[in-house]
Chains A and B, each alone.
Chain A
Amino acid sequence: MLDIPLWKRISIWALCALGLWLALPNAFYTTVERHNDAVIEIEATGVTPELQADVDAWPSYMPNALVNLGLDLRGGVHLLAEVQVEDTYATRVDGMWTTVRNILREERATIGGVRQLDAAPGFLKLRIANVEAMPRALELLRTLAQPVQTLAGVGEMDLVFASDGDVISMTLSDAEKAAMDERTMVQTLEIVRRRVDEVGTREPTIQRQGTQRVLIQVPGLGSAEELKGLLGQTAKLEFRPVVRRTNDPAVAPGPGNEIMPSVDEPGQYYIVEKGAVVGGEDLVDAQPTTDQNGGQAVSFRFNISGAQKFGDYTADNIGSPFAIVLDGEVISAPTIQSHIAGGSGIITGRFSIEETIKLSALLRAGALPAELTFEEERTIGPELGQDSIEAGRIACIVAFAAVLIFMVLSYGTFGFFANIALVINVGLIFGLLSAIGATLTLPGIAGIVLTIGMAVDANVLIFERIREELKAKRGPARAIELGYEKALSAIIDANITTFLTAVILFVMGSGPVKGFAITLGLGIITSVFTAIFVTRLVVVIWFERKRPKEIEV
């Protein structure tokens, strides 16, 4: 009647043991954390006696996965940045002017002269002299367009041309924009990762969210300023030809040019060409240094193609000035004295030492393809996090003890059995959380406390049923069996509905709320498991030993 086959018994105990085994490292949190850190450190830098001691403090045959603590518990910075993907369209289109001009120039005889006109960002407009040659001009330009590589494989072209009288306007197709957004995001994630690494903190989380957002979480950072300083700058370095200098910021720069302020000389502006000679993407190294006068400077080195382009340009333009542009501002505009071969040089300006260190770090990490704006920022001090952990721990222990006592008072021996299951239940939750690498947040702790309260529900349902069956004058064994059998449908229905809400919370929630959904969901699974299998097994073992003629629940 109350038979549970041996294999079932063994599997139940084995599952419990496995869960508790996985939960064990959390009981020695700091030791295991230092062990894990030391293992990583040794791999990176080699062994020192202190590191080896940290490693040896936790046996290597033991599991070492811990529950991650969320930012609200550990302290740190959470930033949600939006990538201004549209920025890249204008850069791309502006950069094509030279190619467009060259291809049309080859048939100057039929098309006539070509002039660039002012256009909205993301558009290139030009006027051709011979209107009759418009079809030929468009035909030539269409050879520039490439099919867009998309997953859907639809062969749409990347450029769209339109003509109106003698004016041609060129822009990017929607498919190309989508593909570029994708590339921009991938690039941005990579560069954000490299820059965050410069801060040198452990385990930062850098995640893409939605189509154009990046979530950055850096534990252990006390202030968001440093991080925002590092991420808030695009650090786009370019070398551009200078058209002329001016003092009037309102002057019309002319088509294909733009006006930029000077960093060091207030009131001084430069009109520079939109297309860059060389850009930051060709940089391979940047270091803080000093110039011949002892001023702070940043040295840089180009890769081969950058060095080639820079060399050719300087050779052709000796005597004319070029501008070193950083994020839309002219840092300096030296005159080219001679052909600069070898592709290295220094940038001078009125830098402080800190600025040169930061600038060279940013240049090394690479420019962001588009600007980041911050939509959400949360900084939690480590002190507050520690307080929350402490308060959560005490609340958990008190809740736990109170529920244990209450259960024994209400159900006697059976209450004690339910308590065994409850202890195993909490252990299993921690084991599962560690195993899947979930993050424990403050609402997550609330989820565990709630689970402690609700986990007994399934047992309560069963015990109440057994009481009813006993009242109906059934024998002990039969009452226990019927109690489990009849309570099952209520347990399943009640828990599935709660589980549904946990799933919805998980899908729709973010950050701490997600943490709550995880502990609530896992808690439901483990509490149903412990109630249906573990307490039942305990009750059966007890019954087999004692063979009571009468039971009181």
Chain B
Amino acid sequence: LRRCLISVDRSLIEKSFPEIKRALQTNDTFPNVTILSTLENLKSIQPVDVCCVTSRLLTFYRDRVFKDHQETSPEVMRQISSIANSFLYMQKTLEQCQVHNQCHCSQEATNATRTIHDNYDQLEASSAALKSLGELDIFLAWIDENHQETSTA
């Protein structure tokens, strides 16, 4: 069964995200709280669950984070738009896999993404969105690491 693999445009990791992080970091009022939990939480995801977790986290960002964040700086708006539209493209790629039923969701995968939503709900929406944007590097790195032909989580 061929795995569903997507690729992360390097410019998102090297350009878009650093500019978002620099602009938003000072406004994060809960530095000790994390939405995406620790990278360990995501590291335990099995290869067979990578597609499902990726798809659900892309949906999480699409439907909650990008919507809950109100941005006024045109430059930061552009960088967030770049990531949001790249996520949309990734999701379309994954949806083609889901048509062939290669995006199975185990209980572990469901629990992992449920934890992320629960963390998000602990904070007020705009604070949670701000923090989630600041943690995009965790998610982008996780995608980059787990969507290689040879990757084994």
Decide if A and B are genuine partners: no
